[in-house]
């Protein structure tokens, strides 16, 4: 993969979608993993695209969306995720939620994609009779810590680490 020139292609990409398409061209890298890799690269200093430009819902997010919105009538999972991002403040207000954002950082497409995936996992345990997409009905693995917890930090380009400097012990106790 590295000998193919993919690093230069990614470095010169014009959009997050182009990074995704470059990665997904490799055999055995499906849409969800390719998108996750593109997002991970976007957290580095190698590329810098707006996280709200592109989203690829994974299987868990698709199932979570189907559980939350059983009557989609042809609305795509991508559009549901974008709608959630675009209307998040109104949604919080309507539901009476005082949302504590991430130190001034609003939810992004990848955040909402992940929220729907986590919703699917939660619903599989707490509401197994609610069907989503596919036949998954159990959680594959349980988290087991391996060694001491790492010191949490955010991608430096977000500018959050400086704002929470000195609060890492508080963050570590929450995470």
Residues 82 and 99 in one domain: yes
Contact (Cβ atoms closer than 8 angstroms) between residue 17 and residue 54: yes
In the structure, what pLDDT confidence band is assigned to residue 166 with cuts at 50, 70 and 90?
Answer: low
Has residue 110 got a pLDDT over 90? yes
C-alpha span between 13 and 24 (Å, rounded): 14
Is residue 95 a part of any domain in this protein?
yes
Has residue 50 got a pLDDT over 80? yes
Provide Rg for the chain, Cα atoms: 18
Contact (Cβ atoms closer than 8 angstroms) between residue 62 and residue 78: no
Q: What is the pLDDT of residues 62-84, one digit of tens each?
A: 999 999 999 988 999 999 999 99
pTM for the model stands at 0.85
Q: Which of 40, 39, 48 is nearest to 14 (CA)?
A: 48
Of the listed ranges 39-53, 77-91, 108-122, 157-171, the least confidently predicted one is 157-171
Residues 65 and 84 in one domain: yes
C-alpha span between 114 and 108 (Å, rounded): 10
Question: What is the pLDDT at residue 163?
Answer: 81
Is residue 172 a part of any domain in this protein?
no
Residues 121 and 80 in one domain: yes
In the structure, what pLDDT confidence band is assigned to residue 168 with cuts at 50, 70 and 90?
Answer: low
Q: Domain of 10?
A: 2-52
Question: What is the pLDDT at residue 63?
Answer: 95
Q: What is the residue-wise DSSP string for the chain?
A: -GGGTHHHHHHT-SSHHHHHHHHHTSTT--HHHHHHHHHHHHTSSS----GGG-----HHHHHHHHHH-S--TT--HHHHHHHHHHTHHHHHHHHT-----BTTBPP-HHHHHHHHHHHHHHHHHH-TTS--SSS--S-S------SSPPPP---GGG--TTTTTT-HHHHHHH-
Has residue 171 got a pLDDT over 60? no
Residues 48 and 65 in one domain: no
Is residue 149 a part of any domain in this protein?
no
Residues 118 and 66 in one domain: yes
Has residue 33 got a pLDDT over 70? yes
- The overall average pLDDT reported for the chain is 90
Q: How many residues comprise the chain?
A: 175
Is residue 47 a part of any domain in this protein?
yes
Q: What is the pLDDT of residues 122-160, one digit of tens each?
A: 999 999 888 888 877 777 778 888 999 988 889 998 888
Residues 63 and 121 in one domain: yes
From residue 29, alpha-carbon distances to 20, 51, 63, 70, 122 in Å are 10, 20, 21, 29, 27
């Amino acid at each position: 993969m590295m000998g193919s020139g993919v690093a230069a292609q990614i470095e010169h990409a014009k959009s997050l979608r182009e990074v995704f398409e470059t990665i997904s061209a490799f055999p055995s890298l499906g849409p969800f993993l390719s998108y996750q890799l593109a997002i991970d690269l976007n957290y580095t200093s190698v590329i810098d695209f707006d996280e709200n430009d592109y989203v690829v819902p994974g299987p868990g997010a698709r199932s979570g969306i189907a559980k939350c919105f059983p009557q989609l009538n042809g609305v795509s999972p991508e559009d549901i995720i974008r709608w959630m991002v675009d209307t998040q403040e109104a949604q919080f207000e309507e539901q009476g939620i005082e949302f504590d954002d991430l130190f001034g950082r609003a939810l992004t497409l990848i955040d909402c994609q992940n929220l729907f995936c986590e919703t699917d996992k939660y619903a599989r345990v707490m509401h197994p009779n609610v069907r989503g997409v596919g036949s998954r009905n159990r959680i594959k693995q349980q988290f087991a810590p391996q060694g001491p917890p790492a010191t949490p930090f955010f991608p430096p380009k977000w500018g959050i680490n400086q704002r929470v400097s000195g609060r890492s012990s508080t963050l570590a106790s929450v995470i």
